[in-house]
Structure 1
Amino acid sequence: MLAMLRAVSQHRAEMTCSCEPDLYIDGVTCCDQVTAHDLARYRLIHPMRLGAIGQRVPAGLTAAGHALLAAVPADAA
């Protein structure tokens, strides 16, 4: 989860516009979509712009996502 949040914070992630969004990092789909769905469900990440259902758009951190990353040491797994 932390690695996924870090990738989003580094502007390397996209997500699909849907109620269960898929996450892509560096253009490749994440192998742990359950965690990707949780990140969106817990409002740690969000789409940076509106898009059509299923469309990939840039992903961004929410205020809660930024706060979580700030609370965890950079070298934590």
Structure 2
Amino acid sequence: MYAPFHDGLNHRALAMLRAVDEGRAELTCSREPDLFIDGVPCCDQFTAHLLSHDGLIEPAHTGHFGQRVPAVLTTAGLAAIAPAPAAA
């Protein structure tokens, strides 16, 4: 099991968020959006669904049911991958 980071996000979830931030990810338009990274279905769709439902990622624009559209980070998603402030 991975150690949790940033409000409960593990290494895999953070890597998925970074892939979205790098413009390498797509979401399917559906109630349970599937995440594709570099054109390949993500191996952890459960986490992809959580990232979407928790408001960390979203489709860049609306599309037809089942259509893949670019994924983008929300403000909360950007905050989740922001470097921690340096200790004083």
**TM-score when normalising by structure 1:** 0.91
In the alignment, the residues of structure 2 paired with residue 7 and residue 46 of structure 1 have an alpha-carbon distance, to the nearest angstrom, of 13
Is 1:56 the counterpart of 2:68? The answer is: yes
The one-letter code sitting in structure 2 at the alignment partner of 1:42 is D
Residue number among 50, 73, 78 corresponding to 1:66 in the alignment: 78
Calculate the TM-score normalised by the size of structure 2. 0.80
- Secondary structure at the counterpart of residue 66 of structure 1: helix
Give me the whole-angstrom Cα distance separating, in 2, the residues matched to 1:54 and 1:72: 36
* Structure ranking higher on relative contact order (CA contacts 8 Å, 6+ apart): 1
RMSD: 1.3
Give the residue type in structure 2 aligned to 1:30. Answer: C
After superposition, where does 1:1-77 map in structure 2 within 5 Å? 1-71=13-83
| Identity within the alignment, % | 63
- Runs of 5+ unmatched residues, structure 1: none
Larger Rg: 2
Aligned residues: 73
